[in-house]
Amino acid sequence: MYLLGIDDAGRGPLIGPMFLAGVLIKSSEEKALKELGATDSKLLYQKERVKIAKEIRKISKVCLVESPPEEIDDAVIGGANLNNLEAKKAADIINSLNDKKEKIKVIVDCPSINTLAWKNKLISFIEYKENLDIKCEHKADFNHPVVGAASIIAKVAREEAVSEIKKKFGNIGSGYPSDPITIKFIKLKGKQLENTGIVRKSWSTWRKLYPISNKNSQSSLKEF
């Protein structure tokens, strides 16, 4: 029996990509993950996350998928939503790590209020399901070490991406709309950022400053 934990990082920021990570371990290794301190990445400092991430990779198989701002905008402005995109990305991870031979218990930190509907959407994108036991729940990163491990891997990747953006563009803050540094950066740089590939132009914060005409674009993350 194997365990596969899946979680995201960078779902809500205005700047930078979103990452989903999957961590696959033998069920007997779950205790080792717990001893490493694998838990909700938000409860850890970045130095701790980086250290733990290295150890996680030693005892597991990891799959990391990235959704750049352009892909997020295409999904949102195209009439879909972020939950749908995340279901596709989670399925990509499952399809990549599933050898179709061993029984795998898949545990996903669900991004949607409606866990059953989101689970059904996820399943629709999975290629081979016969060996899978799929569970979607809220706060799975806190409740299950294997999902906590995925949370850490995804968060480390997100922070590395933000670091690269800062090297090129300067201090963007955290990239979240609630961060005054991020908003100051967006206002200072203005529409110069439009074709840089770092900004989610479907986000309401950007559209309020620089309106776009597409009516299907995102008005609020609450829609998801």
Q: What is the mean pLDDT of the chain?
A: 92
The CB-side HSE value for 166 (13 A sphere, CA atoms) comes to 13
* Torsion sign (Cα): 51, 57, 62, 67: positive
Question: Is the pTM above the cut of 0.85?
Answer: yes
What are the extents of the domains in the chain?
2-223
What the block records as the tokens of 113 is 């209020």
Euclidean distance between CA atoms 16 and 77, whole angstroms: 17
% of the chain beyond a pLDDT of 70: 93
Give the CATH H-level superfamily of domain 2-223: Ribonuclease H-like superfamily/Ribonuclease H (3.30.420.10)
Confidence (pLDDT) at 43 = 92
Q: How confident is the model at residue 212 (pLDDT cuts 50, 70, 90)?
A: low
As a whole number, mean pLDDT of residues 206-224 equals: 58
Checking if the pLDDT of 221 tops 60, the result is no
pLDDT digits (tens, 9 = 90+) for 71-129: 999 998 876 789 999 999 999 999 999 999 999 999 999 999 999 999 999 999 999 99
pLDDT digits (tens, 9 = 90+) for 122-169: 999 999 999 999 999 999 999 999 999 999 999 999 999 999 999 999
80's CB contacts (< 8 A; 6+ apart) are none
